[in-house]
Structure 1
Amino acid sequence: MASHYFDSDPTAPSRTATVTLLLPDLHLRLATDRGVFSPDRIDLGTRILLETVPPPPDHGTLLDLGCGYGPIALAMALRAPKATVVGIDTNQRALALARRNAKANAVPNVSFHRAPGPEDPVDPLLRGPFAALWSNPPIRIGKQALHTLLTTWLDRLADGAYAHFVVHKHLGADSLHRWLDASGYPTDRVASRAGYRILRTMRRP
């Protein structure tokens, strides 16, 4: 059976590598491995998100949904050093890499956690409210699973807080935009580049 980046315990043989995230305001060297999302380079959608979003709130708890090996969460933490940043994922290999990358890059205000399942107790840190949510969401888990995932975490946003998602148009960005609006989450497309849409949304009123 093929291994997917959203598997809890990837079966792909380990082959570690290093990638670089270089932005005007930060420079990170990140350990990666097979069996995680975009192990050979920083995904273009992730880069566009980080180049597009406004600065995160400088306090409160900030969330990276589907953190992988940590580029978005680490960028949030460096841009908001007084905030608490939380990255969540189902992939245990990715979470181990993210923790290693936080330590290697001396980013103390971030932690990484396994995404709780429907029957799991929820760590108080993961209950919110979140002052911001940034995500390159796991589109390939399937529409119903994705909608359940987004509903769960968007409903934990603080009043007035924004979530920013990056999704490629060929992976359903526009239909996701329509679904968010129809489901009661006010959503705007705030940027579009190289086929990627940056969607900004809020919790349901």
Structure 2
Amino acid sequence: MGDVEHYFTAQPATSDERRTIAVHLAGRELRLETAGGVFSPDHVDHATAILLDEVPAPPASGDLLDLGCGWGPIALSLALLSPDASVWAVDVNERALDLTRRNAAAAAVEVQAVLPDDVPAHVRFAAIWSNPPIRVGKAALHELLLRWLPRLAPGGAAYLVVGRNLGADSLQRWLVDELVPMVLPGAAVDRVTSARGFRVLRVLAPPDGPAT
């Protein structure tokens, strides 16, 4: 069974045997729960670590989104850094959502870990942080970003970490040439950093808000 079938199905077929790992997030040492059938179950993967190290602190308030949350390291970091914000963690993998909820409780933070269709349509995000699921394929990835990036609040920023060898530069060109003209006219796209084989891309919504 390939990675896509493991990570991007509602009910992974791999074993649900739970394990505990020690991680360092937002200045805190935490012991969190992971399991097979979710992305990078044994540690915070390199791409996510780069995202957490390189992007500016999230807004102190508003709605914040971890898109493709896995077992929750990005969502937990957002909640730890911005305790007065409303943090959403979205995934199609129900095992991942269960782990994120358990880990939020262990870290004593509030995270709403839900399926994509369970995010109310009116919610707009002051920030979106994501290690997006590149291996779902280009068409599915573009569909995902076309769905969520237009939900940035006016002046909100999305940060996406993508491997250079997994198409970071072509994704940046697609964001500029296609996504922005289609659904985010006036938005800016740039590269925040390039480190250890990964790019962090930023999509900054215009101050008067994206097209809807």
Common topology (TM > 0.5): yes
TM normalised by structure 1 equals 0.91
SS at match of 2:36: coil
Q: Which runs of 4+ in 1 moved over 3 A?
A: none
Gaps of 5+ in 2: 181-186
Aligned-pair distance for 1:23?
4.5
Q: Does 1:160 align with 2:162?
A: no
User: 2: CA distance between counterparts of 1:197 and 1:63?
Assistant: 20
SS at match of 1:55: coil
Q: Which residue of 63, 66, 83 maps to 1:64?
A: 66
Partner of 2:184: none
User: 2: CA distance between counterparts of 1:11 and 1:41?
Assistant: 21
User: 2: CA distance between counterparts of 1:159 and 1:28?
Assistant: 34
Partner of 2:176: 181
**Equivalent residues of 2:61, 2:86 under 8 A apart:** yes
Question: Deviations for 1:148-179, whole angstroms, at most 9, x for unmatched residues?
Answer: 10011100001111000111111111110110
User: 2: CA distance between counterparts of 1:186 and 1:20?
Assistant: 37
| Stretch moving more, 95-104 or 17-26 | 17-26
Give the letter for the 1:138 counterpart: P
**Equivalent residues of 2:26, 2:77 under 8 A apart:** no
Question: Deviations for 1:38-81, whole angstroms, at most 9, x for unmatched residues?
Answer: 01111111111001111110111000000111100010011001
**Equivalent residues of 1:20, 1:42 under 8 A apart:** no
User: 2: CA distance between counterparts of 1:65 and 1:24?
Assistant: 18
SS at match of 1:50: helix
**Equivalent residues of 1:163, 1:200 under 8 A apart:** yes
SS at match of 1:192: strand
Partner of 2:112: 111
Aligned-pair distance for 1:20?
2.6
Question: Deviations for 1:102-144, whole angstroms, at most 9, x for unmatched residues?
Answer: 1111112x1100122xxxxx542x5421000000001111111
Give the letter for the 1:103 counterpart: A
Question: Deviations for 1:16-50, whole angstroms, at most 9, x for unmatched residues?
Answer: 22223215623222211000000111111111100
Partner of 1:144: 139
RMSD over equivalenced CA pairs, Å: 1.5
Give the letter for the 2:6 counterpart: H
Alignment of structure 1 residues 80-91 onto 2, 5 Å: 80-91=82-93
Partner of 1:200: 202
The percent of aligned pairs where both chains have the same amino acid is 52
Query: CA, structure 1 residues 80+24, in 2 after alignment: closer, same or farther (shift >3 Å)?
Result: closer
Give the letter for the 2:38 counterpart: V
Partner of 1:119: none
Give the letter for the 1:75 counterpart: S
User: 2: CA distance between counterparts of 1:142 and 1:24?
Assistant: 31
User: 2: CA distance between counterparts of 1:24 and 1:106?
Assistant: 13
Aligned pairs, number? 198
